[in-house]
Each structure stands twice: as C-alpha cells, then as structure tokens.
Chain A
Amino acid sequence: MLNSSQNIALHRRLTNGLALGLITMAMLIVTVPLFLILGTVISRGVSGLNWAFFTQIPKPIGEVGGGMVNAIAGSVMLLAVASLIGVPLGVGAGVYLAEYGRNKWGNIVRFTADVLNGVPSIVIGLTAYALVVVVQKHFSLLAGSVALGIMMIPTICRTTEEVLLLVPQSIREAALGLGIPKWRTILSVVVRTASSGIVTSIMLAFARIAGETAPLMFTALGNQYWSKSLNQPTAALPLQIFAYAVMPYDEAHRQAWTGALVLIGLIMLTVIVFRFISSRGAIKGAS
C-alpha cells in the first residue's frame, strides 16, 4: 500500500518535472530570438547613434556621416496619419460588431476583416497605390498612410470586438437600468470598462505597421530630402533601412543598423507613453 502510493508520488513528480521542463523550453524558444535580435541591433546600431543622426538628412552615397532625420520625421508623420485613419475605423467597426453585429451584416464585416488581416502587405500597398497615387498622379505621404491605416483596421476591429464582449452583460444592464440611453451606455460604460484592452489592440496594430516596408514602396516611395508635406513622397525608417541595407558600403550598413535601433526605440517609446496616458485615469482597485 505504502509502496504504491510512493510510486504514485514519484510518477507525479516526474510528470510535473517533465511538463515544467517542456514549458520552460518553449518559453526560452520564444524569448531567446527576441533578445538575440535586440542584442544584435543594439550592438551594431549603438555606435552610429549621435546627434547628427537625429538632425541631419542622409549624406550622398559614399560620404561618411549624415543622419536620418527625414526618415524619422517621415515615419512619425506616416504613423500618426495612419493612426488617424485606422484607429477610429477599427474601434468603430469593433464596437459595431460587439454591440450590434449579432446578425448577417456583422458576419460579413467579421469575415471581411479576417480576410483583410490575411492579405499580404504589399497587396495593401498596391491598393493604396490605386486609390491615392493613381488619382493624385504622384507618390505621397498620404498614400503611405492610407496603406498603413488600412492594415491597422482588421487587427483593431477584431481585438476591440473581443475585449468589448468580455465586458459582462450585467454591466450593460446596470447602465440601461439607470435610464442611460444605449449609445451612451456603450460609449461611457462599455468602452470605458474595456479601454485598457482597446489600447492594447491599438498598440499591437501600431507596432505591426511601424515596421512595414513593402506597402510604402510604391506609396510613400522614399525621399533623399526632408519633405514636410502630406502630398510629397517621404522618407520612412523602414524604407531607409532597406535602401541602406542593400548597398555594398559598410558605412551604409552601419546607418541601417542604427536606423533599425531607432525604429525599435520609437515603437517602444510610443507604447510606453500610451500605456502611461491610458493608465493615468485609472483608480485604485479597478478591475
């Protein structure tokens, strides 16, 4: 009797150890590449970080020095305008799906969003090319932003729907029961309750499009100079990194690594700042 229960204990300990080992290994497999990438980018890119990198436009090919201020500013503008397009449409569609979309129309929107999510980014770029570049007859920051904005929509839309559905029905009933109109209930109670999840979905979409290169190739196009207009082709960090990375010069490669580091830093900074802003209104004990 004692013997068999000892056997069971041993068996359980072994199973436990095995499972723990497996999930630890999975955790390592997931995190190690991230740190390898971060480490490589930092070690190769940090030497190129200097004041000039953030204040000067690129020097002609072959010359040492210069910076990427045009690409940094271009990326910031592209992402800002893309967010202006993608966030309201994505959140709006997500709210529609969660609160009004339990029907045929909702299923159509859901299906469309899922398909859009799977469309290769270069095809989205082509769409923006047809919608904006062909109409305007020139490449522009606006065209790039349209491409990136479209890419944000399905991610934000589906995630927003999911987090809104997590808000208990009892919370909606509480608000309706107080004589608060449905639209007000959705905006001030349901969306507010789910706001941290919605911010997460926006950040995911933002981080995804920040590094996109393909949809910018024939929309924003790239620019040697610093364009501050919505209607001009603009440089962007991913485009500039790509351009430098394929050049046969060490100096260009160094600039590309530094550009990659700055891009990662830019994304992290944005996420941290938005997390901070969105958590500032929160109160103690809020769940």
Chain B
Amino acid sequence: MEAAGIHVKDLNAWFGATQALHSISMEIPAKHATAIIGPSGCGKSTFVRCLNRMHETLPQTRVEGTVAIGDLDVYGKGVSPVWIRRRVGMVFQKPNPFPTMSIYDNVAAGLKLNGFRNRRELDIVVERSLRKAALWDEVKNDLKKKSGASLSGGQQQRLCIARALAVEPEVLLMDEPASALDPISTAKVEDLIFELKKQYTVVIVTHNMQQAARVADFTAFFLMGNMVELDKTQIIFTKPSDKRTEDYITGRFG
C-alpha cells in the first residue's frame, strides 16, 4: 500500500487520572523518518501507541483528539482498531518474536492469523520481508527449522521488523527499536531504517540523540507530555528555536 502521512490534532491521552499527553498537534510527512526524542516519561511511547490504537489496550486508558493516516480517521466512528493496526506496523523496544513459532511462521503470522493461506504467496512475502529487514541471508537455511527465539537479540529485532513489514503497512512505528541492542546490531537497524523510509512513513522513538540525528529527517522534542518543537532534524540539533530543546540536546537536563 502507498505510504501515507499522519495528521495529529489536539491529541490527549490519559492513564487513569494522569494525563500523559497534552493536546499534541503535528504533521508527520509520508516517506520520511520522524524521530521523537525527549526524557523518560515525557510521553514519547504513549504518543506512538496512540497512532495505532495500542494505548487503549492497557487498562484504564483514554484518548481524545484526532489522528488521521492519509484520509483515514484512526479514532473515527466504526473504525476497528484491528484494521488500523494492519495499516500501521509497530516494532517494540524489546525484540518480541513469538517463541513457539519458527522464523518463517513469525514473519507469516500477521497474514496467516488473519486467514491468509496461499502458501506460494506466503513464501514470496516471507522472503521479501526478510530481505527488506536485511535478515534473509542469515536465516534462509533455517526458516522452518529454528524458532524465532533462537536468534540473537539483533536478529530477533530485525525479525520483528520483517514481521511488521509482511502485512504491508503504510506506516512503521518504532518504539526505541535499538535500545536493547549492541552497537553493531544498532548500526544494522539504523541502516535498515534508512532504507525503509524510502517506502514507508517511519516514526521512531529514541533515547539516543545521535540516532535521531543519523536516521531522521524530522525530529520532535517532547517534554512532560507536551510537544515542544518539531522541525527538520538538522535544525533541531543546530538552531532549535526553544530554549528547552537546546537545554536537552546539549545535555543540560534530562
């Protein structure tokens, strides 16, 4: 499916009585990588989890405001969260392959468990997704023999990326995808993001400012549930317009 931009307007989110996001409005452009940076607890993860309606899977949570992916109103009446999540892929902080499934089944899970059974096409999708995730050469001989959990941490994370790509989303959300990985695996995942943003709209949450500078075209700085600033990455890291952004990126707090 063709990548779409994301339009967020007045987005508020709560955990119980605690408000985690305060009327966030932002435009995330299609086919670019946008990084969300900010100190722990600033609402970065909550923000991306609102984009594919994962926030509401946690108990006692609430969301207000509008999110649109292309023309699709994510919180519109009668719009199923399941349908949204098929169009918006997600990669989590810790690699989470399905432990009882083979490498092949992990990648095919999103299609298989939604009733897609054409074997020949599944083979094609699995290979294509693993190639996109730069994992194919490392696992092509063990596809059905080995469990997803038997791979190394970095390989597992690329497997999770392949799994997300297999359902052909328009948007890829990555919630600190490299924070549990060693530097070599991190470099591989970053190279991958560089490739992926040519085709997909990528939103990446990261703690690592160098990482944002390396992979993202745009960067948003979040602080205490507010979006302080969104601009081209280069500008955020050289001439931010807000004092708080400058303090954060120069390491004066956070």
Contacts and interface: CB of A to CB of B under 8 A. Distances in A.
B100 A285 contact: no
Nearest to B106: A174
Given A174-B160, A179-B114, A180-B110, A286 B54 contact: no
B198 to A, nearest CB: 23
B100 A195 contact: yes
A175 B164 contact: no
Interface stretch (A60-68, A185-193, A207-215): A185-193
A283 interface: yes
B109 A102 contact: no
A185 B97 CA distance: 14
Contact of B98 (A175, A176, A282): A175
A250 interface: no
A165 to B, nearest CB: 14
Interface string A261-287: 000000000000000000000111111
B57 A284 contact: no
Nearest to A176: B57
B147 A179 contact: no
B96 A170 contact: yes
A286 B114 CA distance: 23
Interface in B31-63: 52, 54, 57, 59
Contacts of B145: 283-284
Interface in B58-105: 59, 82-87, 89-90, 92, 94, 96-102
A161 B149 CA distance: 23
A178 interface: yes
Contacts of A195: 100
B160 A178 contact: no
B146 interface: yes
**B interface residue count range (under 10 / 10 to 19 / 20 to 34 / 35 or more):** 35 or more
B150 A284 contact: yes
Contact of A173 (B59, B92, B101): B92
Given A178-B85, A283-B145, A284-B146, A171 B98 contact: yes
B167 interface: yes
A287 B82 contact: no
Interface in A27-68: none
A278 to B, nearest CB: 11
A177 interface: yes
B149 A173 contact: no
B113 interface: yes
Interface in B161-215: 163-164, 167
A168 interface: yes
A248 interface: no
A285 B150 contact: yes
A225 B54 CA distance: 62
B131 to A, nearest CB: 19
A11 interface: no
B149 A175 contact: no
A97 B86 CA distance: 28
B82 A179 contact: yes
Nearest to A172: B57
A102 B150 CA distance: 33
7 contacts: A175-B113, A177-B164, A178-B163, A193-B98, A284-B145, A284-B150, A286-B150
Kindly list the 10 A-B residue pairs having the minimum CB-CB distance in the complex, ordered from nearest. Answer: A285-B150, A179-B86, A178-B110, A179-B85, A177-B90, A286-B147, A285-B147, A170-B96, A174-B96, A180-B113
